[in-house]
Every structure is written in C-alpha cells, then in structure tokens.
Amino acid sequence: MSPRFRHVAALAVGVLLVQPVPASAATTLYEAENATIAQGVVESNHAGFTGTGFVNYDNVTGSSVTWSIPSSQAQSVTLVLRYANGTTTDRPMDITVNGTTVNRSFPGTGNWDTWRTLSLPVPLVSGSNTVTATATTANGGPNVDSLTVDTGGSGGTDWSKALVESTMARYTPATLGSWGYQRGLYLWGQYLVWQRTGDPRYLQYIKDWADRFVDSSGNISQSFNNLDSMQSGNVLLALYKETGQAKYRTAAAKIRTRLNTYPRTSDGGWWHSTSDSRQGQLWADGTYMADPFVARYGAWVQADTFTRTEPAKQLKVYYSHLHRTSGTAAGLLYHAYDEPGGLTASWVKPSLGNTNGISWCRAIGWFGMATLDILDLIPADHPDRQALIDMLRELVPAYARWQDPATGRWFQVVTEPTNSANWTETSCSAMYTYTISRSVERGYVDPSYRVYADRGYQGVLARISLGSDGRTNITDISEGTNVDDTLSYYFNRARNTNDFHGLGAFLIMNEQMMRVGPGN
C-alpha cells in the first residue's frame, strides 16, 4: 500500500474550529476532513461522501475526530454523524460532548460506499462546544464523512422523512398500488431515505410491497413488454443487495433476460413498448425505465458485455434522435421519436427529425437522471463515459437557460414560458434540480451552475407543505403523459397533488440536496 497523505490537522494541538456548511435553516453540516484528526487520514476512494473526502480512522484504539461547534445559546440539539463501515464487525466509538461521553455502536453498512447516519440528542452550551468521536477498539472507527448539528424548529423539517411517513400512513404496502414505474420511482426514493436513516420500517415497507409480486421462488407474473414495466426492477435489485434473498435476483433476471429479445430500432434503440401503437418509438422517458436497471444489474448481480455496453449505447441512440441542436432550445430534448417505416404515429413531424417537436419537461428530466445513474455505475475507463458527460454538458446549461427566474422551477412545456396556459411542474423541477446538483458535485459541469440547483430546490420546497392532518402534500405534479404534437395536450394535463411521479422525484432530489448542502 502506498503511503497515505495525513492531514495537517492530525498534528494539531487542541481543537480546530471548522467552517460549517449551512444545510437548512436549522441544520449545519461540518465536514470530517476539516476537523482535527488524531491517528487517521482523509481519503476519497469510496463514492458517496460529501465535501472533498472522509476520515479513515487508523486501526487503533483512540483514533479520533474532533469538531468545535459554536452555539449562540445554550440549547438541545441532535448530532447526526454520517459514516460507513464496510466490514461485518461493529466499530464502536465514544461520542464525547464537552467532556460527557456516551458509547455508540457503528455496525457494518454492507459496503464502504454505503453511508448511514447515527443521531444523538445532546445539550450545547453557549459559545464553543467540543465534540469528539473516538474509536474504542483496535479495529479503529468507521469511515466518518460529516457531523450535522440539527437545532430543530420549523426550518429543520426533514421533508424526506415527513413525506415517507405520510405516504406510509396513507397506504399500506397492499394498497400502495400495482406494479409499475410510478411506484418503483417512489420506492427507490424511499430506499434512499432508508440508506440515510437506517429506519428498518422503511425497508420492510418496500419489501412487503415487492413480495406482493414475487413469490418465494422468484416467480413474477409480468411479461415486461414495455420499458415502463421494467423500472421497478431496481426495487428488486435493492432488496437483493440488502437482504441477500435469491428470489429477488431471480425475479430481476427475468427483466434482464427479456431484454435479450426486446425489439429495437434499426440503430439499436429499445422501443418504448412492443405494442403496435408504439412500433419503432423512442421516448426520452424510456431511458430511465430500463437503462439504469441494466447497469445496476451488472454492478450488483452479474456483469457481462451486455450490461457493460447497453446502458450507455441506449442513451447515445436516444440522444442522437431527440437532441435539439439549434436556437435557444439547443441542449434540450424532444419528447419522442418514431423511426420511419412501419406504422407511423400521428404526432410525427418529419421536418423535425420524425420527433413530436415538443420538449415536455419530465421526459427530459428522466433522461438527465438516467445519465447520472449510469455514470455512477459504469467503470471510470468506460469508452462511452465522456460521451455521457458531454450530454450533461449540453443538458445542464439548457436547464439553466430555461429556469423560471420568478419561481426557480421549470415549465410543463420547457420552451413556452410566456404562454399563459403553461405552468411550472414540480416533478421535472425536482429532476432538473437533482441533475444540476449532482453534475456539479461530480465535476461534470462548472461549479457556477450550482446556483440554479439552489434556486430549483427552493422552488420545489415551495410546493410541499404539511396539511391539517400533519401529512405532507406536494402540488402541481403532472399526471402520466403520452406523446402528442400539440401544446394544449401538455398544458391540459392534470395538475395532481401527491402523484407518485412527484413523490419519487422529490425524495431523490431532497436526499441529494440534504447531502451536499446549499452551494454544492
């Protein structure tokens, strides 16, 4: 092993006053790499950390990280320590606040890039407070990413948890709904919240829903004759990863096998559906329905040439037909394309490349999220990696160009902001916010774009509230939408409250924005 670079802070005497990162009106995030480190090192070789890295404790008793936390008054707060333990052995630590110590367990998280949080209510004094996390065994501590101080109050609402709790109160797993991408999207969002909080109820709820469709042998009564039906396969992969139960792998393999013979356009793009009415059609929506599943199947279950090449290939094929290349709309996508020959859709505009000629906001959001998912899953030396990054370098500036300056959100038809019939749509606004933020975080686009993610986040937060029953409501979410070539069709889509398209997109966005904080 090569020598590890040790932070100067490890040699410091006393406590380093770190620069906090405001996470919300009531939470402040302190990165571990900026704290005082004793017998540890800052590293960045495992994905998912915030800031510039995390602290890898030396494998000795007494290795530690110390933060200095300023407080304007004596108050009770919750400390939230974010960590990963890729071993199967607990790595307990003493958490000391101003000389008072409690011991806490930090059990295995499955992988070094799977992060969990531990919450600890503590009192703070007015002025400077010292918080130290010290390993108590020869194994050292877990990898520590950050410490968040949550002072509570209305500004500190954890909207992800509030939304999940509200949805679980409204629906049991039995009444949540049928197999389909809407529920798959929402449950993937809930899975991300479970990854952060570790609340076992959240994962059990996901499992109970999936077990309605998957029997003990892995049989699942789905034909998978359209891409939409494949998106929930990500739930199966998550359950296989977290539980190790073979039935979820068996069920997911049915989707993977179905794609071997699934119909394609002449240049290899998967049709949106095998039905006659969708013959030869590529919808931007479809990239999120199948491509991340294939990449995730290769990363989590079994890699082969197909899982390595197809996800990026599909994005490239779809992009070649849907990408807008001229005018102020350059960088955006049309909603759908129909390959010439065979049945022709009523919405086809030959003069616009056999697309429908309209940029529907959520379709473009699906594409952005799919691209980021696949970049997270394919290897660093993948031959198509730069091509996908280049797509984001077209897409993110286009998102920024068409953001509504008044609300921070984006319009149902992206390029028609002055049409009085148009309206800002919440699910796509969450998707765009997520895509911009994560693209900045990963270094795919210039950091100057982070301001558009911050504006988008505030715009989406303006659409969520607590009702008189104490449950969350998210408004102005477009219902499920087919393809058309008239603006009125898109303008007149129902503007739903608590539609699963919006619930899932919100959770994915909120987990990203909570993790990186404003300005990231």
Give the pLDDT confidence of 196-215 residue by residue, as tens digits: 999 999 999 999 999 999 99
Contact 425, 361 (CB under 8 A): yes
> What is the pLDDT at residue 518?
60
Distance CA 33, CA 16 (A): 11
Contact 335, 483 (CB under 8 A): yes
- How many Cα neighbours within 13 Å face the side chain of 300? 28
> What is the pLDDT at residue 27?
75
pTM as predicted: 0.73
Of 53-67, 140-154, 187-201, 407-421, the least confident: 140-154
Q: Which residues contact 486 (CB under 8 A, 6 or more apart)?
A: none
Contact 455, 445 (CB under 8 A): no
Asked if residue 60 has pLDDT above 60, the reply is yes
Asked if residue 185 has pLDDT above 50, the reply is yes
The larger pLDDT score, comparing residue 519 to residue 208, is at: 208
> What is the pLDDT at residue 37?
96
> What is the pLDDT at residue 73?
81
Nearest Cα neighbor of 403 from 428, 420, 438 is 428
Mean pLDDT of 92-105: 87
> What is the pLDDT at residue 515?
87
Asked if residue 23 has pLDDT above 50, the reply is no
Percent of all residues in the chain with a pLDDT value above 90, rounded to a whole number: 78
Asked if residue 7 has pLDDT above 60, the reply is no
> What is the pLDDT at residue 15?
37
* pLDDT tens per residue across span 437-461: 999 999 999 999 999 999 999 899 8
When the pLDDT of each residue in the chain is averaged and rounded to a whole number, the result is 91
> What is the pLDDT at residue 26?
65
Strand ranges inside 404-450, DSSP E: 410-411, 424-425
The larger pLDDT score, comparing residue 89 to residue 23, is at: 89
* pLDDT tens per residue across span 301-310: 999 999 999 9
Asked if residue 19 has pLDDT above 50, the reply is no
> What is the pLDDT at residue 17?
39
Asked if residue 510 has pLDDT above 70, the reply is yes
C-alpha of 428 from chain center = 14
pLDDT band at 156 (very low <50, low <70, confident <90, very high): low
Would you give the end-to-end CA distance of the chain in angstroms?
32
Asked if residue 38 has pLDDT above 60, the reply is yes
